[in-house]
Amino acid sequence: MKILIDNPTQQSTPLPARGDSLSSLAICKSHWEDSPYFDGWKEYARNPYHPINNSSGIIQMALAENQLSLDLLENWLYTHPEASIWAEEGVSRFREIASYQDNLGLPACRTAIAMFMEEVGGRKAKFERDRIVLTAGAIAAHEVLTFCLADPGEAFLVPTPYYPGFDRDLKWRTGVELIPVHCSSCNDFQITIPALEAAYQQARARNITVKGLLIINPSNPLGTTMDTSTLRNLLSFVYEKNIHLVCDEIYSGSVFSHPKFTSIAEILATDKISQTDRVHIVYSLYKDLGLPDFQVGIIYSYNDTVVTAARRMSSFSMVSSQTQHLIASMLPDTEFVREYLAENSKRLRKRHEMFVSGLRVAGINCLNSNAGLFCWADLRHLLQSHDQEGEIRLWKIILKEIGLNVSPGSSCHCSEPGWFKFCFANMNDQTVQESLNRIQLFMESKK
Amino acid sequence: MKILIDNPTQQSTPLPARGDSLSSLAICKSHWEDSPYFDGWKEYARNPYHPINNSSGIIQMALAENQLSLDLLENWLYTHPEASIWAEEGVSRFREIASYQDNLGLPACRTAIAMFMEEVGGRKAKFERDRIVLTAGAIAAHEVLTFCLADPGEAFLVPTPYYPGFDRDLKWRTGVELIPVHCSSCNDFQITIPALEAAYQQARARNITVKGLLIINPSNPLGTTMDTSTLRNLLSFVYEKNIHLVCDEIYSGSVFSHPKFTSIAEILATDKISQTDRVHIVYSLYKDLGLPDFQVGIIYSYNDTVVTAARRMSSFSMVSSQTQHLIASMLPDTEFVREYLAENSKRLRKRHEMFVSGLRVAGINCLNSNAGLFCWADLRHLLQSHDQEGEIRLWKIILKEIGLNVSPGSSCHCSEPGWFKFCFANMNDQTVQESLNRIQLFMESKK
């Protein structure tokens, strides 16, 4: 065991913090933003593409945002003044909405979100309103859940490639570790039990307590959905190891072709699993409803203690009641929701096809995918050296010469150099075409 | 110095956490809610007063919320459809508003808040837009600032009595300590340098690093403003000790009689203090604008590193862009803002006078106050025993027999038993009268 003793003879004691110094969190290495993912964003911010004002600027393809269906939302808003606090129909509710709520969130908002999650999951599982905890955005939902499940120094296994922001979002303030589980292109980056087992055993050998497995389904950055047998295997794994399963399902309503999405909630319901208290879902209205900056994150936990603790922690991250009121008004409109999801899926499929086939013509293949706002492109044949350095060199060429901000696989902890994530739903057709033209020109120059 | 050594012989090592256990935060003692402050809220929730449906229910007087001027906000909303995303005037901006922002927040929103803070401070100091960090509520602003300034185990000095929620909000996830600085009724609970010095030296003797002094001005729960000489003394103290000064100014627009409010920003400007990077202000639109559940918290820091770190941390606690748009539309309407602040102040003064004089008639005196949504009542003559036990016994009588949920001084760390905080702005005149009737009946029964 480790014990503390006083040793007055040694002089290398770190000095006690000066009162005017800042915390280690505030002064830590670039606040975990020292990765190409964040560097690319900063480079883009300095020189953003605009078709007229800055036609040689950088096109933002690292932003997983859905701008394809905003017109559907606009139409709904315009025809539903009662959801506003402005119109005569809504202003009567202003007092109630503006007034101090407890941190549960408006019941009508949570009911509406439960209904929406059921709809997105194909009505295969029920969601209970009172297991929904609202947070100001999906990042907050993930952080709150991490605070609830693990102590500093404890860890989650995370299959690679995974969303680059997790390293900052989940580790910075919680002190929790993420342990990559390496998946490979030989089976299209599917998670295997041997890979999980190896990562788990390595963590144990390093004396690290593994508290859970964190999966993203549909995957960010792969754009693929997990099949039921994989989900069942993962459940068996977490039950065998006595650890938690956190399922990030924030792209579940952004599936645009077969196979369909299966929520972990569906497996729990279908298999009539009784011990569900190790399963937790993170959801949001960021991606599936094109409402990114309205900041509605959701924790759905089957564990009562987690629901209670997370709800209390959500005091640090409350959703504006103005926005809760909008959600509570919009999502129970089942007809609108179904039409929106169907039409949005159609538009995503079309955009995906446009971009992926454009890449194919240029000589670049992508992993087959059926979901998400991005594709996972195989640029291995363009690497000068088949290592991370070669990948970063190519990433810099894409950023600075081709003028596209994309995410290199290494920022997603992908262990095979040469894969890149391209986002395609945060722009109009013309901008997609401009990005494809640039890529084609570049590829031709390589011949 | 302290060093770590391995000692394999000892057997008292805590067992490694089981993977399916929760974090110590999630399972800690009632999540810091084991105080009469939170108990009273729970009791109220079980039996809330309603003039018709539950006329013997508990009246909520522990809620510092301003419902006196909501009609002014309603009128503004109703006559300004351009601030909505519904009306024709607003829907054109929906795309821009709904789209993914960086964590800076909308520039127009931050500009509007800076203007509002200047107005509230009597235009005696300038606030820079780019020093404003937005968070989802004031609780989040305080927590983010604490995360930025102190490491776990480090501490802030906090003059008593102070807002009961701080013990949970500032300590729970950050691991930071709060050290009460005892103030007394002999000088109307004003902060003195000897009391600060004593608390500081006691902390040092316990080997605790003091990182800052946290003050609430206007005070919650006292309802008093700090004069300029006190503020100057506090500044000298923090400079001498090389520590930070955090000023919670969330009631600065809720001053209803003389003396006027003086922001720490005014002192920094007037005294032309150049080294300002240890001063940080927490503000919000909760109290002063009657928009509690719209969740707009503000950190204003003079320290560039804190601004950068806090802005990145605000990813965990984002303000809905829908609400940012509303703020950006409403607050630049200077005429409305000035009328609102003046009228709101007049209504608060009237309500304060009504309640305090009612208490006086019943035989209860309050500390003289000029701000806030509450008063600090002296019930020492009603104690059966002059200790904390006696105070809690009286608090239970007030809660269960009189049917008022108020906050006992001990929940605010007041070291003198018998003081209670009564909130008076979260109800209409009839409910205030009902509370006064009940108090008078109770006092008569004591004669």
What is the model's pLDDT at position A381?
97
Of B163, B200, B286, B340, which residue is the catalytic one? B163
Is A406 among the domain residues?
yes
HSE, side-chain direction, 13 A CA sphere, residue B231: 24
Lowest-confidence range among A86-90, B37-41, B225-229, B325-329?
A86-90
Same domain, A91 and A154: yes
Closest CA to A142 of A216, A68, A79: A216
Instruction: Choose the final residue of a domain: B272, B302, B333.
Output: B333
Domain containing A171 equals: 83-333
Same domain, A131 and A278: yes
To the nearest whole Å, the CA of B157 is away from the closest chain A CA by 12
Whether residue B27 and residue A305 make contact (CB cut-off 8 A), yes or no, is: yes
* A208 vs B12, more confident: A208
Whether cis (ω within 30° of 0) applies to the bond prior to B218 is yes
Taking a C-beta distance cutoff of 8 angstroms, is the pair A317, B140 a contact? yes
Mean pLDDT confidence for B69-96: 74
The encoded tokens of residue A304 equal 């009562």
Same domain, A344 and A439: yes
Closest Cβ–Cβ partner in A74, A100, A320 for B65: A100
φ and ψ at residue A344, rounded to 5 degrees: -60, -40
Handedness of CA A225, A431, A44, A400 (dihedral sign): positive
Q: Is the per-residue pLDDT at B285 higher than 50?
A: yes
| Cα distance between residue A226 and residue B196, in whole Å | 59
User: How large a percentage of chain A has pLDDT more than 90?
Assistant: 77
Mean pLDDT confidence for A364-380: 98
Of B37, B162, B179, B287, which residue is the catalytic one? B287
| Cα distance between residue B85 and residue B94, in whole Å | 6
Q: Is A335 on the interface with B (CB under 8 A)?
A: no
Is A24 among the domain residues?
no
Closest Cβ–Cβ partner in A84, A242, A296 for B20: A242
Confidence of residue B312 (pLDDT cuts 50, 70, 90): very high
Is A19 among the domain residues?
no
Same domain, A247 and A376: no
Chain B residue with minimum CA distance to A309: B26
B392-428 per-position pLDDT tens digit: 999 999 999 999 999 999 999 999 999 999 999 999 9
Same domain, B280 and B371: no
| Cα distance between residue A343 and residue A112, in whole Å | 20
| Cα distance between residue B417 and residue A220, in whole Å | 57
Of B139, B191, B250, B281, which residue is the catalytic one? B250
Closest Cβ–Cβ partner in A6, A20, A148 for B23: A148
List the Cα angle B364/B368/B371 in 5-degree steps: 120
Confidence of residue B35 (pLDDT cuts 50, 70, 90): confident
Neighbouring residues of A179: CB distance < 8 A, sequence distance ≥ 6: A155, A156, A157, A158, A199, A202, A203, A208, A210
| Cα distance between residue B139 and residue A165, in whole Å | 24
What is the model's pLDDT at position B29?
73
To the nearest whole Å, the CA of B151 is away from the closest chain A CA by 5
Mean pLDDT confidence for B384-397: 96
**Catalytic site residue B340?**
no
What is the model's pLDDT at position B323?
87
Is B329 among the domain residues?
yes
Alpha helices in B242-387 (DSSP H): 264-270, 304-313, 321-330, 334-362
The encoded tokens of residue A270 equal 């279908």
Whether residue A19 and residue B294 make contact (CB cut-off 8 A), yes or no, is: no
Confidence of residue B332 (pLDDT cuts 50, 70, 90): very high
Question: Cα A186 to chain center, whole Å?
Answer: 24
Whether residue A317 and residue B16 make contact (CB cut-off 8 A), yes or no, is: no
Q: Is A56 on the interface with B (CB under 8 A)?
A: no
Place of tokens 């004593």: B198
Is A209 among the domain residues?
yes
Total domains in chain B come to 2
The encoded tokens of residue A420 equal 């890149």
Q: What letter would DSSP give residue A131?
A: G
Residue B128's SS3 state is: coil
Lowest-confidence range among A12-21, A222-231, A304-313, A434-443?
A12-21
Taking contacts as CB-CB distances below 8 angstroms, the residues of chain B near A102 are 45
Find residue A178's DSSP bridge partners. A156
B360-372 per-position pLDDT tens digit: 999 999 999 999 9
**Catalytic site residue B163?**
yes
Same domain, A143 and A292: yes
| Cα distance between residue B91 and residue B265, in whole Å | 38
Closest CA to B340 of B137, B115, B78, B116: B116
Q: Is B67 on the interface with A (CB under 8 A)?
A: yes
Whether residue A323 and residue B326 make contact (CB cut-off 8 A), yes or no, is: no
Catalytic residues of A: 163, 248, 250, 287
Confidence of residue A1 (pLDDT cuts 50, 70, 90): very low
Closest CA to A320 of A100, A92, A107: A100
Q: Is B205 on the interface with A (CB under 8 A)?
A: no
To the nearest whole Å, the CA of B381 is away from the closest chain A CA by 33
Place of tokens 């754009």: A223
Q: CA dist A309 to A312, B28, B173, Å? A: 5, 9, 11
Whether residue A139 and residue B65 make contact (CB cut-off 8 A), yes or no, is: no
* B101 vs B183, more confident: B183
Q: Please tell me the pTM assigned to this model.
A: 0.92
What is the model's pLDDT at position B394?
97
Whether residue B2 and residue A13 make contact (CB cut-off 8 A), yes or no, is: yes
Helix axes B228-241, B193-205, angle to 10 degrees: 20
How many pairs of residues across A and B have Cβ atoms under 8 Å apart?
A: 309
Is B27 among the domain residues?
no
Same domain, B360 and B317: no
**Catalytic site residue B346?**
no
* A24 vs A105, more confident: A24
| Cα distance between residue A20 and residue B276, in whole Å | 11
Chain B residue with minimum CA distance to A277: B20
The encoded tokens of residue A314 equal 């959500």
Same domain, A285 and A360: no
Taking a C-beta distance cutoff of 8 angstroms, is the pair B272, B266 a contact? no
Closest CA to B101 of B354, B279, B311, B243: B311
Taking a C-beta distance cutoff of 8 angstroms, is the pair B155, B204 a contact? no
Q: Indicate the pairing of strand B155-159 with strand A155-159.
A: unpaired
Same domain, A164 and A101: yes
Closest CA to B418 of B386, B445, B440, B443: B386
Closest Cβ–Cβ partner in A151, A278, A317 for B136: A317
What is the model's pLDDT at position B93?
64
For B169-205, letters b (16+ CB in 10 Å) and e give: bbbbbbbbbbbbbbbeeeeebbbbeebbeebbeebee
The encoded tokens of residue B164 equal 């009961």
User: B-contacting residues of A 351-390, CB under 8 Å?
Assistant: none
Instruction: Choose the final residue of a domain: B333, B366, B397.
Output: B333
Largest distance between two CA atoms of chain A: 77
Most A CBs within 10 Å, among B246, B316, B327, to test the A interface: B316
Q: Is B13 on the interface with A (CB under 8 A)?
A: yes
Instruction: Choose the final residue of a domain: A333, A361, A386.
Output: A333
Q: Is B94 on the interface with A (CB under 8 A)?
A: yes
Taking a C-beta distance cutoff of 8 angstroms, is the pair B300, B131 a contact? yes
Any idea what the CATH number is for the domain that residue A248 is in? 3.40.640.10
* B57 vs A322, more confident: B57
Taking contacts as CB-CB distances below 8 angstroms, the residues of chain A near B210 are 19
Q: Is the per-residue pLDDT at A365 higher than 70?
A: yes
Whether residue A293 and residue B102 make contact (CB cut-off 8 A), yes or no, is: no
Any idea what the CATH number is for the domain that residue B382 is in? 3.90.1150.10
Alpha helices in A314-407 (DSSP H): 321-330, 334-362, 388-397
| Cα distance between residue A159 and residue A183, in whole Å | 7
A123-169 per-position pLDDT tens digit: 999 999 999 999 999 999 999 999 999 999 999 999 999 999 999 99
What is the model's pLDDT at position B326?
87
Whether residue A137 and residue B33 make contact (CB cut-off 8 A), yes or no, is: no
| Cα distance between residue A218 and residue A340, in whole Å | 19
Whether cis (ω within 30° of 0) applies to the bond prior to A14 is no
Whether residue A294 and residue B6 make contact (CB cut-off 8 A), yes or no, is: no
Same domain, B310 and B408: no
Closest Cβ–Cβ partner in A73, A100, A173 for B292: A100
Same domain, A300 and A357: no
Is A1 among the domain residues?
no
**Catalytic site residue B287?**
yes
Per the prediction, chain A carries an average pLDDT of 90
Lowest-confidence range among A84-98, A200-214, A369-383, B164-178?
A84-98
Per the prediction, chain B carries an average pLDDT of 90
User: B-contacting residues of A 172-201, CB under 8 Å?
Assistant: 172-173
Q: Is B326 on the interface with A (CB under 8 A)?
A: yes
Mean pLDDT confidence for A263-268: 97
Lowest-confidence range among A290-299, A366-375, B333-342?
A290-299
Chain B residue with minimum CA distance to A73: B94
* A382 vs A96, more confident: A382
| Cα distance between residue B26 and residue A149, in whole Å | 7
Find residue A421's DSSP bridge partners. A376, A407
Is B75 among the domain residues?
no
Of B248, B283, B364, B421, which residue is the catalytic one? B248
Chain A residue with minimum CA distance to B104: A293
What is the model's pLDDT at position A6?
34
Q: Indicate the pairing of strand A177-181 with strand B297-301.
A: unpaired
End-to-end CA distance of chain B: 63
What is the model's pLDDT at position A57?
97
Same domain, B312 and B417: no
To the nearest whole Å, the CA of A386 is away from the closest chain B CA by 34
Q: Is the per-residue pLDDT at B205 higher than 50?
A: yes
Give kind and range of the element (H or E) at residue A213.
strand A210-216
Chain A residue with minimum CA distance to B315: A139
Whether residue A318 and residue B292 make contact (CB cut-off 8 A), yes or no, is: no
Chain A residue with minimum CA distance to B103: A293
What is the model's pLDDT at position B94?
66
| Cα distance between residue B207 and residue B299, in whole Å | 29
Confidence of residue B161 (pLDDT cuts 50, 70, 90): very high
Closest Cβ–Cβ partner in A17, A143, A151 for B151: A17
Q: Is A86 on the interface with B (CB under 8 A)?
A: yes
| Cα distance between residue B384 and residue B392, in whole Å | 10
What is the model's pLDDT at position A130?
95
Neighbouring residues of B16: CB distance < 8 A, sequence distance ≥ 6: A207, A209
End-to-end CA distance of chain A: 62
Give B380-413 as a DSSP string: GGG-SSSSHHHHHHHHHHIIIII-EE-EEGGGGT
Closest Cβ–Cβ partner in B45, B70, B83 for A94: B70
Q: Is B98 on the interface with A (CB under 8 A)?
A: yes
